[in-house]
Chain A
């Protein structure tokens, strides 16, 4: 089992460019999440999904869109990147909500110039 994988691992964008981050999990989990981690801020939830075809906003959703067309994939899109979106992005999945363990991917380091 690969667990949770994220593509790409690193990316540099110019302001205004767009990109999509891909998260894939092979554990048949229903729930998937996108977080960002900034220095001194901990992890903040961007968007999450409780099942295929569903998405919901988290704590910091502005400037991002997501899609969950297949159960195993959760895509995070930046339509027009801004320097404030420079961060490390983590994807996670879990079999359910509540106190269920979330399994995290290795992260994507994004720099927006």
Chain B
């Protein structure tokens, strides 16, 4: 059973607008959350992380929000750029050793 879910397989956004990617999880023990970006034929690259002691973490154009009561996190990209077009994965862990990944959301930023 999938412990981390990304229910939107794809998302299209106009350049300059906000992209919001969502992730839900089922295990209330998860304390560590990471977002990765992946281009075709490459390995994932780290974007941003958050631990359960915080509800928001910001890094430049990327902000991750965590709502533990709803078991939901989201990644906001503002402003969106064509180079952001990629597949985005969220991942979660309770111990910080074994991470469970979602199935990914393919983001297309339209120039």
Contacts and interface: CB of A to CB of B under 8 A. Distances in A.
Query: Quick one: which of A43, A56, A97, A98 has the most chain B CB within 10 A?
Result: A43
Interface in A58-93: 58-59, 90, 92
A105 B44 CA distance: 8
Interface in A23-62: 31, 35, 40-45, 48, 50, 56, 58-59
B103 A102 contact: no
A99 interface: yes
A16 interface: no
A103 interface: yes
B14 interface: no
Nearest to A101: B46
Contact size range, B: 20 to 34
B44 A101 contact: no
B100 A59 contact: yes
Contacts of B51: 98-99
Contacts of A48: 97-98
Contacts of B44: 43, 90, 104
Contacts of A107: 41-43
Given A99-B33, A99-B50, A44 B101 contact: yes
A59 B97 contact: no
A8 interface: no
B103 A40 contact: yes
Given A99-B96, A102-B34, A104-B43, A42 B101 contact: yes
Interface of A: 4, 31, 35, 40-45, 48, 50, 56, 58-59, 90, 92, 96-107
16 contacts: A40-B103, A42-B102, A43-B44, A43-B89, A45-B100, A50-B97, A90-B43, A90-B44, A97-B93, A98-B32, A99-B50, A101-B49, A102-B34, A102-B99, A104-B43, A105-B43
